[in-house]
Structure 1
Amino acid sequence: MIYRTIIFDFDGTIADTMEEGRRIFNEIGPAYGIRQIDREEMEGFRSYTINQFIEEMKIPKTKIPFFIAKGTLAMRRSIAGLPLIAGVGEVLPALRARVDRFGILTSNAVDNVELFLDSHGIRGLFDFVSSTSKLTGKSRHLNATRKQYGLKTEEMLYVGDEVRDLQAAKKAGIPCAGVTWGFNTRERLAAEHPDHLLDNPAEFLALAGH
């Protein structure tokens, strides 16, 4: 299958934000009565879904929108200085040349993503950056993108590092690829039966025509 449009998740897929995300989580968590997470504990959480993580951390569901808003605002202070996932910066230009459109769909803030892309000189690769404030709201946005560009579902690919990314794509009827260098483990992503499972950014190039 030759994909015409590839849409990426941002955190953990393109941007290496996991450690900074943990730091911000620990910074704002006490105001909500949420305990802190140490670096070693993060590895254990990689087999969790987002809902399992919320339950384990005892995050009040009514407070989640406020928690996310504060977190994305805090991320804005440091986002421009964070690194790309190793290898992604070299692969993206070559991959972009093989498809019609590149996009980003994230639960991070559009302003944060724009700052990051600009700081790494790759904003010009992407045709659009979209955001949803809902942790599980990506399927609707994927469908909206399909309609906007008059695409067939099989011509699109959504790429993400979390179970919820793969589930959103499946709900929208769109092919998906899981990347194993982000939040969820390879085993946890494989359990969702994505169309593709990538262990290295160089493997992106096999997903598009020459």
Structure 2
Amino acid sequence: MEMQKILYVFDFDGVIADSLDVCLSTVKLIAREFNLNADVISDDIWEVINNVTFDSLGRYLGLDEIESLRFADKVLQRMIENRAANLFNGMPALLSELALTGVVCILSASHRIAIERSLNEVNIHHVISDIFGGETRGSKAEKLKILQVRYGVEPCACWMIGDAASDIAAARDAGCNSIAVGWGWQSRERLKFASPDAFVDSVPALHDFLTAVVSSNI
């Protein structure tokens, strides 16, 4: 029997890349440009925001819908100028290995160019089949469905790997599986409350889980 193709869709910030500090400094800078109170933007700011996007942050800070989108665009443009975010230990090897058994994509609120820069730093851009950055409008659920159609993968063979409850909700809305990681931007308690299909505490644990997924798919 032919093995079914697997689609691995990763969030970037907090899952692949250790980018919280550079992201916080960027959003604080843009908040000040909008005359907003940047002091409320702390390490745990994402705990109080349901949808982990920059326009959602703008609305939380008091902007209306139109201004929050302009806020998000400013953050994205600034990210292009930032230094490349470092990838978590073991992540380049994991992504490279997964690319041998399926299709690896990235779905993120960050700008595609910033993501590509980080991948190029460790020479693994070639193992990523597709990147949807925050500059592309649409919900994560909508983009997950696009990727499933684009690569001819059934929802049951699609895995969304994220660090936010909104990632888990997007996977559910798109009919695919979800894995929450415990080293990202939202707390383990909040992630577990969102009821992902799996929860992992480390990159090696994620590797072991996805290896088992591949084995069960043969």
Higher RCO (CA 8 Å, separation ≥ 6 residues): 1
**How many equivalent residue pairs?**
205
Counterpart position of 2:79: 75
Partner residue in 2 for 1:96: 99
Using structure 2 for the length normalisation, give the TM-score: 0.84
Q: Equivalents in 2 of 1:74, 1:84: separation in Å? A: 20
Deviates more, 1:125-134 or 1:45-54: 45-54
Query: For 1:116-195, what aligned pairs fall within 5 Å after superposition?
Result: 116-133=118-135, 137-195=139-197
CA contact (8 A) 1:3 1:154 kept: no
The alignment's TM-score, normalised by the length of structure 1, stands at 0.87
1:161-197: CA deviation from partner (whole Å, max 9, x where unpaired) = 1111111111111101111211110000111100111
8 Å contact from structure 1 (residues 5, 100) kept in 2: yes
> For the residues of structure 1 that align with 2:142 and 2:18, how far apart are their CA atoms?
26
Name the structure 2 match of 1:47: 47
Q: For the aligned residues, what is the CA RMSD? A: 2.3
Change (3 A) 1:21 1:110: same
Consecutive unaligned residues in structure 1, runs of 5 or more: none
CA distance in 1, matches of 2:33, 2:134: 24
Q: Identity over aligned residues, as a percent?
A: 22
Q: Which amino acid aligns with 1:142?
A: L
The answer on whether the counterparts of 1:49 and 1:163 sit within 8 Å (CA) in structure 2 is no
Q: Which amino acid aligns with 1:42?
A: D
Displacement of 1:107 in angstroms is 1.9
Q: Distance in 1 between matches of 2:137 and 2:190?
A: 18
Separation in structure 2 between the aligned mates of residue 27 and residue 132 of structure 1, nearest angstrom: 18
SS at match of 2:156: helix
Q: Name structure 2 gaps, 5 residues minimum.
A: none
Tell me, in whole angstroms, the C-alpha distance in 2 between the residues paired with 1:173 and 1:69: 29
| 1:118-159 residue CA offsets vs partner (Å, 9 max, x unmatched) | 112110111111234478711111111111222111101011
